Amino acid sequence: MSAPRTSAYFVCGGKYHDFDFARSEILKLLLEHECVRTRVAEDYRDLDALLASDFLVTYTVDVVPDEATAARLRDYVAGGRRWFALHGTNSVLRYVKGRGWEAPRSSPTFMQTLGSQFVAHPPIAPYRVEVTAPAHPLVAGIEPFEADDELYLSELHGPLEVLLHTRYAGEAAGFVERDWSRDEPRPVCYLKRVGAGEVLYLTLGHARGRYDMLPLMPEYPQVERGSWKAPAFYELLRRGLRWAARLDA
């Protein structure tokens, strides 16, 4: 017997990343499930369509709703829905001349719902992702792996159930909040309970093409694919999408 139809709302857009690539890859994974029908948007403005969906997937950078919309998103999840949030969904970016990139705390309801707010990252370089909760089905059987990605240094809004983590102690050059010298686990993937629903957040997934830094520069010197080169990342995506669509229930 085939699985019943379920509807996804996929928000993909923002700044300084290759959203064409990420959108294409995530849609391919959603299309592996005949029962999932997906509607795609660049932001949260069509809120009625979003709220009518069975689950939410987001891959954004510096795309946040206003507080009223964020409150309705929180209620959407709290009512029993699932939200699979990827990479820069928790980011708000502003450039301060002479100081670098800052993360304004201007979207408190949105970030509280997500469970974190991006603050900074060190220069992109490989780092080791460790499995925090090896018995959890979302990460069971996943071995520690190298991620050549943006290592997210975030302000956390718990309680969180951390599934994957890494460690980092040092500086985040180019960011206003650059001192991260305290050595502690940095969540890479976690679950955040919101009422009767839940958010699954996976910080991996950096992607940038040659023309994705406009208007800051006309052409970026290289194409970056981050964790999209790692088989473990695709396995995490597949599991996350099945979780969001409740296909393992």
CATH number reported for the structural domain that contains residue 23 in this entry: 3.40.50.880
Instruction: Tell me if 249 is assigned to some domain.
Output: no
Instruction: Tell me if 12 is assigned to some domain.
Output: yes
* pLDDT of 124: 95
Range of the domain at 206: 6-244
* pLDDT of 3: 81
Tell me if residue 4 falls in helix, strand or coil: coil
Instruction: Tell me if 89 is assigned to some domain.
Output: yes
Average pLDDT value for the chain: 97
Cα separation, 51 vs 63, in Å, equals 18
Q: What is the mean pLDDT of residues 60-70?
A: 98
Instruction: Tell me if 54 is assigned to some domain.
Output: yes
Q: What residues contact residue 156 under an 8 Å CB cut-off, 6+ apart?
A: 115, 116, 187
Q: Closest by alpha carbon to 185, among 127, 247, 100, 248?
A: 127
Q: Which pLDDT tens digit goes with each residue over 168-200?
A: 999 999 999 999 999 999 999 999 999 999 999
* pLDDT of 180: 97
Q: Closest by alpha carbon to 197, among 83, 65, 71, 50?
A: 83
Instruction: Tell me if 118 is assigned to some domain.
Output: yes
Instruction: Tell me if 1 is assigned to some domain.
Output: no
Please give the model's pTM, rounded to 2 decimal places. 0.97
Q: Closest by alpha carbon to 110, among 82, 91, 94?
A: 91
* pLDDT of 1: 60
Q: Would you say the C-alpha torsion 173, 177, 182, 184 has a positive or negative sign?
A: negative
Q: What is the mean pLDDT of residues 152-160?
A: 98
Residue holding tokens 């970030």? Answer: 111
Number of domains in the chain: 1
Residue type, 182: R
Q: What is the mean pLDDT of residues 156-174?
A: 97
Instruction: Tell me if 138 is assigned to some domain.
Output: yes
**How large a percentage of the chain has pLDDT more than 70?**
99
Answer yes or no: are the C-beta atoms of 99 and 179 closer than 8 Å: no
